[in-house]
Structure formats: structure tokens, C-alpha cells
Copies of this chain bind each other. A is one copy, B any other.
Amino acid sequence: MSIWQKEVVLPVFPRGYHLIDHILQEHLVDVPKFGLLHLFLKHSSAALSINENADPSVRFDLERSIDLLVPENQKHFTHTYEGSDDMPAHIKCSLLGASLQIPITNGAPNLGTWQGIYLCEFRNNAKARTLVLSIVY
């Protein structure tokens, strides 16, 4: 077997859900014919998710919905010194997860027609996020 691996620093994104397929494609050159692609975000206040890739209203509603599901300034929070967006960001990160695994088929990630890869940025003023791309093949 072989492992290909690359650490990528993403551009800084504002709070929100952002398609990053085009960024990943820049780094995925010489993709093997068959394999598994693994994406790993090295952070605990953002997440990766696969969801609808066409209509921006889905990304808008997804973000709005998780904000309502995990509101800021909950009375029971004790971890508050990094700002009102911090503890909710950790909760959302655990709910969505910081990694994805996608099959590679015929030399490309085998996503469905309507699937895109999101960076979900939960902090108001995040710095650049680091992603580890791995392919086993």
C-alpha cells in the first residue's frame, strides 16, 4: 500500500458554511485510480461536513439551524472566557465532526451529484485552519 499525505492551510473564512471542493482539487493532483481520501481538520471549534453543493440557501439554513440548536450565552456554560461563540463552537464541532472519508473511484473523489465538502466555521474571528489530506491506495 501507499499513503499520500499533505498538510494544507486553508484561507481564512468568516463564520459560516463554505464549500471547499475547489480548494481541495488544487491539492489533489495525481490521484490514484482507487483509494480512500481522508480529510482531517486540526481544530476543535470548526468542522467538516458533506452536504448539498448547489443552492447557497441550504448552507445558510444549515448554519442558522445549528445556531438555534446550540445557542450562545447559555446560562449553564462555565467555559466563557474566550467569548460567547467559543463554547457553542466546541459543541457544534463534536456534533458534526472534524474529519471526512470519501471513496476515490476512477481517479476522483466519488461524491454524489449533489454532495459538496463544507468547512463549517463556528468562530466569529477565526484564523486560518489547517487540514491534513491523506489518501490510502
Q: Which of A15-67 touch B at CB < 8 Å?
A: 34-36, 38, 40-45, 49-53, 55, 57-58, 60-62, 64-66
A76 to B61, alpha carbons, bound, how many Å? 7
Point out the residues of chain B lying under 8 angstroms from A136, CB to CB. Answer: 1, 3, 35-36, 136
**In the assembled complex, A111 has its CB within 8 A of some CB on chain B:** yes
Name the distance in Å between A57's Cβ and chain B's nearest Cβ. 4
Point out the residues of chain B lying under 8 angstroms from A79, CB to CB. Answer: 55, 57-58, 60-61
Q: Which of A93-126 touch B at CB < 8 Å?
A: 93-103, 105, 110-115
**In the assembled complex, A73 has its CB within 8 A of some CB on chain B:** no
Q: Are A110 and B42 in contact (CB under 8 A)?
A: yes
| Contacts known (A43-B112, A78-B60, A79-B57); A95 close to B96, Cβ less than 8 A | yes
Q: Are A101 and B103 in contact (CB under 8 A)?
A: no
Point out the residues of chain B lying under 8 angstroms from A57, CB to CB. Answer: 78-79
- Please list the 4 inter-chain residue pairs (A to B) with the smallest Cβ-Cβ separation, ordered nearest first: A1-B1, A42-B112, A57-B79, A3-B34
